[in-house]
């Protein structure tokens, strides 16, 4: 069994919401979350740029000894998963698109709110069509939303922006939050669109409840500013988290704590 942490990667706070849920549910298991905030937002980038960034992130995890990685990011899952599996053939990758749509059942019209790069990939429409070809899927991109969340913007500003999307996302049975940043503002989204939402968190918890997990310390690392990520986590999750820079994490430190 792999005794090293499972890597979790996203451009920032969305991945933290997944890490936090996994860490809470499996507190003795070992996770290493990389918030790649220096490259945020991923959603405005081209497929080629996203692949290049993700290859860099996985190479960094790989030199730490990590061999299993959860892409806690729809944008990376929809644009880079195949390339990562091809480039790092001896590693295991978990994407989150198929996992997120797995609880769909009787819905007729499903909305997907996601980043521009995720919508451009068509990954949600394709994934839903595989299991539910009868469902009508409408995908809408919310370009500024990740930036608004990362910059800890006021709820009123976020609400006003979401209202501008109301005419594109109407008469839905369910709205999928197709970006891991969005569950952080779930009550605002549900009130603006007046619809029940689905997100990736519970399906991911279910996925990992079926796996044997390594025990040991968990890590929160950022590619940008640890002090700012600590502040963001404190404000949005009311957690006093220890946050490391990439330079502070070495293969020695990781293996010493397992």
The catalytic residue positions are 73, 179
Q: According to the binding rule CB under 6 A, does residue 5 interact with ligand DGL? A: no
Site string for ligand DGL, 9-48 (x = CB under 6 A): -xx--x-------------------------xxxx-----
Enumerate the β-bridge partners of residue 79: none
Q: According to the binding rule CB under 6 A, does residue 172 interact with ligand DGL? A: no
CB of 47 to ligand DGL, least distance (A): 13
Q: Which is nearer to ligand DGL, 124 or 216 (by Cβ)?
A: 124
Query: Among residues 29, 75, 79, 174, which is the contact residue for ligand DGL, using CB under 6 A?
Result: 75
Count of residues in contact with ligand DGL, rule CB under 6 A: 16
CB of 11 to ligand DGL, least distance (A): 3
CB of 250 to ligand DGL, least distance (A): 27
Which residues between 97 and 116 bind ligand DGL (CB under 6 A)?
Answer: 115
Q: Which is nearer to ligand DGL, 32 or 145 (by Cβ)?
A: 145
DSSP collapsed to 3 states, the chain: CCCCCEEEEECCHHHHHHHHHHHHHCCCECEEEEECHHHCCCCCCCHHHHHHHHHHHHHHHHHCCCCEEEECCHHHHHHHHHHHHHHCCCCEEECCHHHHHCCCCCCCEEEEEECHHHHHHCHHHHHHHHHCCCCEEEEEECCCHHHHHHCCCCHHHHHHHHHCCCCCCCCCCEEEEECCCHHHHHHHHHHHHCCCEECCHHHHHHHHHCCCCCECCCEEEECCCHHHHHHHHHHHHCCCCCEEEHHHCCHHHHHHCC
Q: Which is nearer to ligand DGL, 7 or 216 (by Cβ)?
A: 7
CB of 162 to ligand DGL, least distance (A): 16
Q: According to the binding rule CB under 6 A, does residue 146 interact with ligand DGL? A: yes
Query: Among residues 29, 121, 180, 197, which is the contact residue for ligand DGL, using CB under 6 A?
Result: 180
Enumerate the β-bridge partners of residue 114: 141, 178
For residue 196, CA distances in Å to 190, 192, 206 come to: 6, 11, 20
Residues in contact with ligand DGL by CB under 6 A are 10-11, 14, 40-43, 73-75, 115, 118, 146, 179-181
């Amino acid at each position: 069994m792999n005794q090293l942490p499972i890597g979790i990667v996203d451009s920032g706070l969305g991945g933290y919401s997944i890490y936090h849920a996994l860490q809470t549910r499996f507190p003795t298991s070992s996770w290493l979350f990389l918030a790649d905030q220096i490259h945020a937002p991923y959603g405005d980038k081209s497929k080629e740029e996203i692949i290049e960034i993700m290859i860099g992130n996985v190479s960094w995890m790989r030199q730490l000894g990590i061999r299993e990685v959860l892409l806690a990011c729809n944008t990376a899952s929809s644009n880079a998963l195949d390339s990562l599996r091809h480039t790092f053939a001896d590693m295991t990758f978990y994407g989150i698109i198929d996992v997120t749509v797995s609880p769909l059942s009787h819905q007729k019209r499903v909305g997907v709110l996601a980043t521009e790069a995720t919508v451009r990939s068509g990954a949600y429409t394709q994934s839903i069509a595989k299991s539910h070809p009868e469902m009508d899927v409408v995908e809408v991109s919310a370009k500024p939303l990740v930036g608004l969340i990362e910059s800890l913007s006021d709820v009123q500003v976020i609400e006003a922006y979401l209202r501008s999307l109301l005419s594109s996302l109407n008469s839905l049975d369910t709205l999928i939050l197709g970006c891991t940043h969005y569950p952080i503002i779930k009550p605002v989204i549900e009130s603006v669109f007046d619809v029940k939402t689905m997100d990736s968190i519970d399906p991911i918890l279910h996925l990992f409840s079926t796996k044997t997990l390594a025990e040991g310390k968990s890590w929160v690392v950022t590619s940008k500013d640890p002090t700012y990520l600590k502040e963001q986590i404190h404000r949005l999750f009311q957690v006093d988290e220890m946050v490391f820079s990439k330079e502070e994490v070495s293969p020695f430190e990781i293996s010493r704590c397992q």
